[in-house]
């Protein structure tokens, strides 16, 4: 028997969709995925599972760790009857109804409606100490807007790796709190738009470190410095920083949608033609970072999860599936 609603993903978007769907008596099943390395850990619960302190989500005045928050989301979803399956969805056939999806366990499951909430993973340099300090709260992060205002980073020298608009936005945000912001870029010119470049080039406490790549992140419990290599002459130098922020892009988790017919944009994110969560295929919805390359915040992902569940509920009712 086909599921009424199947949710793929278990971050803020997936769990919020599950909460709303379960309370609407849609009896949702949530495929939360399995842990893997890519190169940083990819865990059920999404990017927040690598976040040690969340201070900007409403309702937590004293802050909360990412794993704690996702645990609360899951418990709330399960309280209303969401069924949880610890497998990946590896492929989807949306060409016929009910839809057919294959799991990492080799099973096939049918569903009348599907919400895609698989998120996007930050791109990392892949260095061992970089990833270790990111997981332990040692001052390495992939989201300045999420973490930059934390007390540990205030009035400290910080660095951003990247040269595009995202890197400029992250660096500009950090100038509000840091004593100095270094933008480490591998080339002699930035890829960001002129307007975004000017924000950093004209900031009193910002400096671009040209033609450099990070060879090593140095520090035990906390980051202390980074070892840089010059991309022109190969010389090495050390830059003392108390925080390192990766801004070299994100990769949406949409590989399993290959051949499914779901439309993606030129960066691989699920395309949402209108203001709703409807994809180009009726009965298939998307929510969270997998369809959002701009904001990538827990609260916006949760909001999109709510939208997707409401849209799915209405669509199922129109089909006479209740």
pLDDT tens digits for 220-236? 999 999 999 999 999 99
Q: How far apart are CA 45 and CA 9, in angstroms?
A: 8
133-165: burial string, b at 16+ Cβ within 10 Å, e else: bbbebbbbbbbbbbbbebeebeebbbbbbbbbb
Say what the pLDDT of residue 246 is.
Answer: 95
pLDDT at 86: 95
Tell me, what's the pLDDT at 40? 63
For residue 87, what pLDDT is reported? 96
Task: Please say if the pLDDT value at position 111 is more than 70.
Answer: yes
- From residue 223, give the alpha-carbon distance in Å to each of 6, 88, 216: 41, 34, 11
- The pLDDT, as a whole number, for residue 45 is 80
Q: What is the pLDDT of residues 125-167, one digit of tens each?
A: 999 999 899 988 899 999 998 899 999 999 999 999 999 998 9
Q: What percent of the chain has pLDDT over 70?
A: 99
Whether residue 175 is predicted with pLDDT greater than 90 in this model: the reply is yes
CA 30/CA 258 separation, integer angstroms: 21
With tokens 């209740």, the residue in question is 322
Structural domains for the chain: 3-121+250-318 (3.50.50.60), 124-246 (3.50.50.60)
What average pLDDT does the segment 99-111 reach?
97
CB neighbour list of residue 228: distance below 8 Å, 6 or more residues apart: 184, 209, 212, 213, 214, 215, 236, 237, 238, 239
Half-sphere exposure of 287 toward its Cβ, with a 13 Å CA cutoff? 32
Q: Which residues are catalytic?
A: 143, 146-147
Record the tokens describing residue 304, joined without a space: 């999109």
Read out DSSP for 119-159? -EEEP----HHHHHHHHHTSSEES-HHHHTTSGGGTTSEEE
**pLDDT value at 309 more than 80:** yes
Q: Which of 52-56, 234-238, 288-292, 317-321 has the lowest mean pLDDT?
A: 52-56
- Going 14 to 63 to 222 to 148, the CA torsion angle's sign is positive
pLDDT in tens, 8-67: 999 999 999 999 999 999 999 999 999 877 666 677 888 888 777 888 899 999 999 989
pLDDT at 286 over 70: yes
* Cβ atoms of residues 244 and 226 within 8 Å: yes
Indicate the range of 31-40, 175-184, 187-196, 293-302 predicted with least confidence.
Answer: 31-40
């Amino acid at each position: 028997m086909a599921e009424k609603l199947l949710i793929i993903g278990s971050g803020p978007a997936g769990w919020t969709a599950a909460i709303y769907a379960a309370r609407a008596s849609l009896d949702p099943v949530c495929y939360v995925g399995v842990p893997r390395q890519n190169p940083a850990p990819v865990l059920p619960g999404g990017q927040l599972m690598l976040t040690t302190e969340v201070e900007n989500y409403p309702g937590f005045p004293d802050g909360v760790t990412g794993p704690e928050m996702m645990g609360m989301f899951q418990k709330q979803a399960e309280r209303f009857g969401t069924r949880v399956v610890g497998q990946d969805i590896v492929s989807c056939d949306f060409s016929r109804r009910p839809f057919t999806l294959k799991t990492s366990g080799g099973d096939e499951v049918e569903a009348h409606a599907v919400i895609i909430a698989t998120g996007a993973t930050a791109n990392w340099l892949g260095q061992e100490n970089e990833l270790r300090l990111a997981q332990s709260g040692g001052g390495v992060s992939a989201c300045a807007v999420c973490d930059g205002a934390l007390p540990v980073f205030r009035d400290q020298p910080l660095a951003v790796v990247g040269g595009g608009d995202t890197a400029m936005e992250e660096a500009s945000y950090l100038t509000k709190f840091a004593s100095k912001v270094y933008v480490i870029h591998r080339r002699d010119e930035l890829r960001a738009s002129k307007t975004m470049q000017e924000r950093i080039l004209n900031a009193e406490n910002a400096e671009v470190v040209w033609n450099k790549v990070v060879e090593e992140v140095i520090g035990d419990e906390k980051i202390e410095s980074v070892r840089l290599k010059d991309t022109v002459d190969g010389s090495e130098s050390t830059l003392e920083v108390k925080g390192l922020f990766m801004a070299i892009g994100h990769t949406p988790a949409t590989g399993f949608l290959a051949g499914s017919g779901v439309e993606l944009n030129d960066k691989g994110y699920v395309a949402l033609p209108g203001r709703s969560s409807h994809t180009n295929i009726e009965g298939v919805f998307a929510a969270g970072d997998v369809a959002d390359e701009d904001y990538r915040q827990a609260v916006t992902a949760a909001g999109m999860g709510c939208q997707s569940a409401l849209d799915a509920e209405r669509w199922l009712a129109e089909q006479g599936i209740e």
